Amino acid sequence: MDCHHPIAALILFIVFTVAAADGNHNDGGSILGASYIFGDSLVDAGNNNFLPTLSRANIKPNGIDFKPSGGKPTGRYTNGRTIGDIVGEELGQRYYAVPFLDPNSTGEAILHGVNYASGGGGIMNATGRIFVNRLSMDIQIDYFNITRKQIDKLLGASKAKEHIMKKSIFSVSIGSNDFLNNYLLPVLSIGARVSQSPDGFVDDLISHLRSQLTRLYQLDARKFIIGNVGPIGCIPYQKTINQLNEDECVALPNQLALRYNSKLKDLIAQMNDNLPGATFVHANVYDLVMELITNYAKYGFKTASKACCGNGGQYAGIIPCGPTSTLCTDRDKHVFWDPYHPSEAANVLIAKQLLDGDPKYISPMNLRQLRDLDH
């Protein structure tokens, strides 16, 4: 079961591309920009299809509204495009970032971007063990290191460095699984929760993430967007198993997310201060998604509690989306596609805020400004 949270990091993920305005290079010069996407099921575009794992989305009706595949499942955990897909389109990217494990992730395709995200993945290597296989953040960066060397071979060292530093956006949306599929599952996580206080666990997450982001910086990444963890206590799965009313959310997961988010904001400020030439943009997914859930009718939705595709309980929130699931007819009226992930309609609204939104949701600049930034 893929409890990847949705929203969680909603992030953002988003990632996108950086349309760096110059098309005058000969080598790779026609490349407008690239997205290098790290994260979990919110932005996985098919890596888990190539892993022996219990967390997969390459089954119907996932992808039913994804036009490039003619409505066939691709491994995206939603009915259509992910936030990363939508942001990339809006920023002028010609192609979606190719999943690293896809055999097509070779040659010039990698200059448009590569997606390393994996359903079930987390900041900690133990996270998601329930799914047997998934790519943790450390492994995702190991894979980018391989891509980085390939870009050197394609462009030569000097142009490769310029491509990575100026024309590429690094999107990181991760952290939800560290709570949903690690800390909140004490037995499966080998008692980590018994031995660690919430603050101790959060400090561990931040310490690991600091090292991971620093490692990307050392590999020449300079433009980052980092999504915080969304209101994971409000996903249909959590509301169903806790038998809540429609307007209620589970307190503990949300409290943990807020503890982590507070420390993440401080970490991002420190990274901006301490890593010369880098820009870290903070995506406040928690407040963005909470706004959508609280005021769903204002945005044209009819429910922010019930999964469009799922089974079990009041909110169809227990059994993940698959061929035998109950499927709603008005997919664009549901905030949630399945027990854990937003619908394409919700992803469109989230992406819009990341691209052009208010500083309370995206700071110190939005993604169009980050794309156009020339260090």
Residue 270 resides in a domain: yes
Q: 3-53: per-residue pLDDT in tens?
A: 444 444 443 343 333 333 333 333 444 456 899 999 999 999 999 999 987
* pLDDT value of position 186: 54
Single out the catalytic residue among 35, 85, 338, 343: 338
Q: 146-160: per-residue pLDDT in tens?
A: 999 999 999 999 999
Q: Which two tokens stand for residue 85?
A: 């897909």
Single out the catalytic residue among 35, 41, 168, 343: 41
- Residue 310 and residue 315: Cα distance in Å, rounded? 8
Contact 108, 75 (CB under 8 A): no
The values of phi and psi at residue 334, to 5°, are -110, 130
Instruction: Kindly report the CATH number assigned to the domain that includes residue 170.
Output: 3.40.50.1110
Mean of the pLDDT values across residues 225-231? 98
* Whether residue 25 lies in the annotated active site: no
Mean pLDDT of the chain: 89
What DSSP state is assigned to residue 298? G
Sign of torsion over alpha carbons 184, 305, 248, 295: positive
- 245 by Cβ neighbours in 10 Å (0-12 / 13-18 / 19+) ranks as exposed
Convert 232-259 into a string of H (helix), E (strand) and C (coil).
Answer: HHHCHHHHHHCCCCCCCCCHHHHHHHHH
Q: 65-112: per-residue pLDDT in tens?
A: 999 999 999 999 999 999 999 999 999 888 999 999 999 999 999 999
- Which residues does residue 98 pair with via DSSP β-bridges, in sequence order? 114
* pLDDT value of position 26: 33
pLDDT value at 368 more than 80: yes
- Residue 142 and residue 136: Cα distance in Å, rounded? 10
Residue 63 resides in a domain: yes
* pLDDT value of position 194: 54
> Does 131 or 229 have the greater pLDDT score?
229
Mean of the pLDDT values across residues 284-307? 97
Domain membership of residue 209 as a residue range? 34-372
Residue 210 resides in a domain: yes
375 pLDDT band (50/70/90 cuts)?
low
Contact 123, 137 (CB under 8 A): yes
**How many separate domains does the chain show?**
1
Contact 98, 110 (CB under 8 A): yes
Lowest mean pLDDT among 40-54, 223-237, 291-305, 330-344: 40-54
Residue 261 resides in a domain: yes
pLDDT value at 199 more than 50: yes
Mean of the pLDDT values across residues 111-134? 90
Contact 118, 47 (CB under 8 A): yes
Residue 9 resides in a domain: no
Q: pTM (2 decimals)?
A: 0.91
Mean of the pLDDT values across residues 224-252? 96
* pLDDT value of position 15: 37
* Whether residue 69 lies in the annotated active site: no
* pLDDT value of position 10: 42
Residue 239 resides in a domain: yes
Collapsed DSSP state (helix, strand, coil) of residue 20: coil
- Which residues does residue 303 pair with via DSSP β-bridges, in sequence order? 334
* Of 47, 15, 30, residue with least CA distance to 113: 15
Residue 26 resides in a domain: no
Lowest mean pLDDT among 40-44, 141-145, 186-190, 241-245: 186-190
Single out the catalytic residue among 208, 282, 334, 341: 341
Residue 144 resides in a domain: yes
Contact 340, 4 (CB under 8 A): yes
Q: What percent of the chain has pLDDT over 90?
A: 80
* Whether residue 338 lies in the annotated active site: yes
Q: 325-365: per-residue pLDDT in tens?
A: 999 999 999 999 999 999 999 999 999 999 999 999 999 99
